[in-house]
């Protein structure tokens, strides 16, 4: 049923194997699947690929859609099992976000014990110390002999038929990594360079989906609730439909558009005030919207739009897809507009409501978020630098941060809301 062919070493510059080319000796023949056995085995198919990427963006707004994404991933990779997991190498824990092809007890065992003993966790964490993502084959990182000798393989991997694995990794923070895994049993043909290439195609979309999910996870109930959630974001946000027409804006976006300095609305379309930038912006929006509408695979992008006298606006376009938003027209792309001269909104409501910071500690945090150093912030608050330093340490303790830079990143991730409900 399986035919063997001589293997060609993958291109180490493009496949993600450059870190461990010398270790790439685990398989001397490439086994290609009989297409009758694996009918979707990495075969060309734009329709299936569009469906795969579309379901990924659906999952940004509705986590239940991860099941659809993983089901399509199994088809596209010709795999038997798939999983989306969170690993923290510092806390030595693992959480399964969603899985496909595993029994429920496998998820419980992995999260409770074996996830922390997965021999890939440590090398993967090292890979991501200096980069934001990685993709490749697990057996090229931990070879067959080492894997077979591990507790993980003998008590978990062999039991649940997880041997040939392709991974896509996204770094969330210094110690936390989200991993997409597709797997085949030891008796099946090994995943190969085609799987690596497909995983590489998915990586930029995964990054954008995780970002969307973190900031838009509450976009579900009604149009009013959707707009309220978008208003809670730090910057201006617009939603566009599949043809690029604006169907959703938050208050900050409306304020920027009304100024007609850099960007404006022309009919129902967002455009730049200069012809050259208008064409570039339209192309960016159309590409992102096409992906969200299921007609493309472009992950979106960013550009600068110049203003008359102030600093340029930073514009980011990302695909978005959700059939679960009960707005009149669901957006196919989200456009984020960042004004570098805008003062960051206060996080006091969230800090006091969720983390029990005092009013003074909230005020200090807001001043640091504005870019002031500790001494200047203390002077603005009319307290001594030592008092401000004490308040900062208290803020570190309550928010679980350890340095001022960590606190700033933490604050930037909080929504701008008037009160915590």
Q: Are residues 325 and 357 in the same domain?
A: no
Q: Is residue 69 pLDDT above 70, yes or no? A: yes
Q: Are residues 162 and 250 in the same domain?
A: no
Query: What mean pLDDT, rounded, does the chain reach?
Result: 81
The share of the chain scoring above pLDDT 90, in percent, equals 50
In a domain, 160, yes or no: yes
Q: Is residue 9 pLDDT above 50, yes or no? A: no
- Say if residues 231 and 250 touch (Cβ distance below 8 Å): yes
**CATH code, domain carrying 63:** 3.30.450.80
Q: How many helices (H) and strands (E) does the chain have?
A: 16, 14
Q: List, in sequence order, the alpha helices (H) in 153-250.
A: 193-216, 223-231
The pLDDT confidence band at residue 11, using thresholds 50, 70 and 90, is: very low
**CATH code, domain carrying 278:** 3.30.450.20
Q: Are residues 93 and 190 in the same domain?
A: yes
Q: Are residues 191 and 47 in the same domain?
A: yes
Q: Are residues 205 and 243 in the same domain?
A: no
| Structure tokens, 175 | 């110690």
- The model's pLDDT over 399-414, given as tens digits with 9 standing for 90+, comes to 999 999 889 888 877 7
What's the chain's Rg over C-alpha atoms?
Answer: 24
Q: List, in sequence order, the alpha helices (H) in 97-179.
A: 104-112, 121-127, 138-141, 144-148, 151-152
Per the listing, tokens 């959480």 go with 95
Does residue 104 sit in helix, strand or coil?
Answer: helix
Pair type for strands 246-249 and 236-240: antiparallel
Indicate the number of domains in the chain.
3
Q: Are residues 294 and 394 in the same domain?
A: no
In a domain, 74, yes or no: yes
Report the alpha-carbon distance of residue 391 to residue 284 in Å, rounded.
44
Q: Is residue 160 pLDDT above 70, yes or no? A: yes
Neighbours of 188 (CB within 10 A): 19
- Average pLDDT of the segment spanning 261-278: 93
In a domain, 161, yes or no: yes
Q: Are residues 372 and 316 in the same domain?
A: no
- The model's pLDDT over 181-239, given as tens digits with 9 standing for 90+, comes to 999 999 999 999 999 999 999 999 998 888 776 665 444 433 444 444 455 555 788 99
Report the alpha-carbon distance of residue 407 to residue 369 in Å, rounded.
9
Q: Are residues 291 and 273 in the same domain?
A: yes
The pLDDT confidence band at residue 110, using thresholds 50, 70 and 90, is: very high
- The model's pLDDT over 12-32, given as tens digits with 9 standing for 90+, comes to 333 332 333 333 333 333 333
Q: Are residues 46 and 176 in the same domain?
A: yes
In a domain, 76, yes or no: yes
Q: Are residues 7 and 54 in the same domain?
A: yes
Report the alpha-carbon distance of residue 328 to residue 332 in Å, rounded.
13
The share of the chain scoring above pLDDT 70, in percent, equals 80
> In terms of residue numbers, what domain contains 389?
348-412
In a domain, 260, yes or no: yes
Report the alpha-carbon distance of residue 246 to residue 270 in Å, rounded.
7
pLDDT at 251: 84
Using the 3D structure, point to which of 165, 184, 216 is the last residue of a domain: 216
User: What DSSP line would sit under 350-407, residue for residue?
Assistant: HHHHHH---HHHHHHHHHHHTT--HHHHHHHHTS-HHHHHHHHHHHHHHHT--SHHHH
**CATH code, domain carrying 355:** 1.10.10.10
In a domain, 27, yes or no: yes
Report the 3 state secondary structure along 310-354: CCCEEEEEEECCCCCCCCCCCCCEEEEEECCCCCCCCCHHHHHHH
Using the 3D structure, point to which of 290, 311, 338 is the last residue of a domain: 338
Could you tell me the pTM of the whole model? 0.55
Q: Are residues 307 and 326 in the same domain?
A: yes
In a domain, 343, yes or no: no
Q: Are residues 73 and 196 in the same domain?
A: yes
């Amino acid at each position: 049923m399986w035919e063997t062919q001589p293997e060609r070493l993958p291109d180490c510059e493009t496949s993600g194997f450059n870190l461990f080319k010398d270790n790439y000796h685990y398989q001397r023949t490439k086994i290609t699947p009989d297409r009758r056995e694996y009918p979707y085995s990495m075969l060309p198919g734009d329709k299936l690929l569009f469906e795969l990427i579309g379901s990924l963006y659906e999952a940004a707004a509705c986590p239940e859609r991860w099941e659809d994404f993983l089901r399509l991933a199994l088809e596209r990779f010709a795999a038997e099992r798939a999983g989306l997991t969170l690993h923290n190498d510092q806390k030595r824990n693992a959480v399964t976000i969603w899985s496909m092809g595993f029994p429920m007890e496998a998820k419980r065992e992995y999260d409770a014990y074996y996830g922390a003993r997965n021999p890939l966790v440590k090398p993967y964490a090292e890979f991501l110390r200096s980069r934001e993502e990685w993709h490749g084959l697990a057996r090229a990182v931990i070879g067959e002999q080492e894997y077979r000798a591990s507790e993980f393989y003998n008590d978990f991997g062999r039991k649940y038929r997880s041997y040939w694995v392709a991974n896509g990794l996204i770094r969330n923070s210094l110690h936390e990594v989200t991993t997409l895994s597709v797997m085949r049993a030891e008796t099946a043909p090994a995943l190969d360079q085609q799987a690596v290439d497909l995983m590489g195609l998915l990586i930029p979309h995964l990054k954008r989906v995780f970002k969307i999910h973190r900031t838009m996870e509450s976009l579900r109930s009604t149009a009013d609730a959707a707009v309220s959630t978008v208003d809670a974001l730090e910057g201006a946000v617009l939603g566009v439909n599949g043809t690029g027409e604006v169907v959703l804006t938050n208050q900050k976006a409306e304020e920027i558009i009304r100024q007609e300095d850099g960007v404006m609305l022309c009919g129902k379309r967002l455009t730049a005030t200069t012809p050259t930038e208008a064409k570039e912006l339209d192309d960016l929006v159309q590409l992102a919207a096409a992906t969200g509408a299921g007609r493309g695979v472009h992950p979106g992008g960013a550009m600068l739009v110049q203003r008359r006298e102030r600093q340029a606006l930073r514009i980011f376009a990302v695909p978005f897809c959700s059939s679960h938003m009960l707005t009149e027209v669901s957006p196919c792309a989200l456009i984020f507009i960042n004004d570098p001269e805008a003062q960051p909104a206060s996080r006091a409501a969230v800090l006091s409501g969720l983390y029990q910071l005092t009013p003074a500690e909230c005020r200090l945090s807001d001043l640091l978020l504005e870019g002031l150093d500790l001494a200047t912030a203390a002077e603005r608050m009319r307290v001594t630098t030592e008092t401000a330093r004490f308040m900062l340490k208290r803020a570190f303790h309550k928010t679980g941060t350890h340095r001022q830079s960590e606190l700033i990143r933490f604050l930037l991730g909080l929504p701008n809301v008037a009160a915590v409900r």
